[in-house]
Each structure stands twice: as structure tokens, then as C-alpha cells.
């Protein structure tokens, strides 16, 4: 019940296209859903996060869509650029788990020029 399932494992998108990565969770107590971006050999960096009281959050080209009833959330990268090529991780946390992040398996995104 603590799992966060992420798909796809890898994704290739043309420059300028929309990249979409999906995550699903079981624990309805989760109340914080961040997305992290990680470049090779670097630590993850927080990209954008959402709480379950809103269905969408947008920051620049990055948007999180959140579907509470389906227990799913997704990351949309608009106008994808080669510099967006990285591994993306979704995660979830809540107070009951001492705010420990439960991680998805990651998605390797490649943006083709």
C-alpha cells in the first residue's frame, strides 16, 4: 500500500512535443506529491509538487495533473527541449510515515532534437 507505481520506464519525445509521465498510488493518506528531476551523476532536484486539494498545478512548462478519485497524478512537460532529457521520479509522502518520500521507479526521458 506504500508503493508508488510510475510509467513508462523510458520515453522518447521529439523536441517541441509534450512529455507525459504517470504515477499511481494506493495509500489515500498521502498528501504531498512531488516530482523530481535527476541528471546523470547528480542528486535529484525538486521540479514541482502538488497537494490533493487541487487538481492541477502549473509552473512554466511543467504541469502536474492530479486525479484524487483515480489515485493518479501525472507530469506534463510542454514544448519539451533537449535540456529536459533526464530521469524523472514521482514520489508521495504524508505525516503518518514521518513525511518519508515513497519513490516511483523513475522514467528516463530523452528529447530528440
Contact footprint for another protein (CB under 8 A): 32, 34, 36, 41-46, 49, 89, 93, 95, 98-101, 103-106, 108
Tell me whether residue 13 or residue 47 sits nearer to another protein (CB atom): 47
Tell me whether residue 41 or residue 113 sits nearer to another protein (CB atom): 41
Tell me whether residue 17 or residue 110 sits nearer to another protein (CB atom): 110
Please, what is the minimum distance in Å from the beta carbon of residue 42 to another protein?
6
What residues contact 90, with CB distance under 8 A and at least 6 apart?
Answer: 4, 6, 21, 23, 33, 34, 35, 36, 73, 75, 103, 104
Please, what is the minimum distance in Å from the beta carbon of residue 18 to another protein?
24
CA 16 to the chain's CA centroid: 19
Please, what is the minimum distance in Å from the beta carbon of residue 79 to another protein?
26
Amino acid at each position: 500500500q506504500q508503493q508508488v507505481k510510475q510509467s513508462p520506464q523510458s520515453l522518447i519525445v521529439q523536441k517541441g512535443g509534450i512529455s507525459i509521465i504517470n504515477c499511481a498510488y494506493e495509500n489515500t493518506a498521502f498528501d504531498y506529491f512531488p516530482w523530481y528531476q535527476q541528471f546523470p551523476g547528480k542528486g535529484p532536484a525538486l521540479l514541482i509538487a502538488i497537494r490533493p486539494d487541487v487538481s492541477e498545478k502549473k509552473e512554466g512548462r511543467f504541469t502536474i495533473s492530479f486525479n484524487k478519485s483515480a489515485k493518479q497524478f501525472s507530469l506534463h512537460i510542454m514544448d519539451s527541449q533537449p535540456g529536459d532529457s533526464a530521469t524523472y521520479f514521482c514520489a508521495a509522502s504524508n505525516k503518518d510515515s514521518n513525511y518519508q518520500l515513497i519513490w516511483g521507479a523513475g522514467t528516463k526521458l530523452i528529447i530528440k532534437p
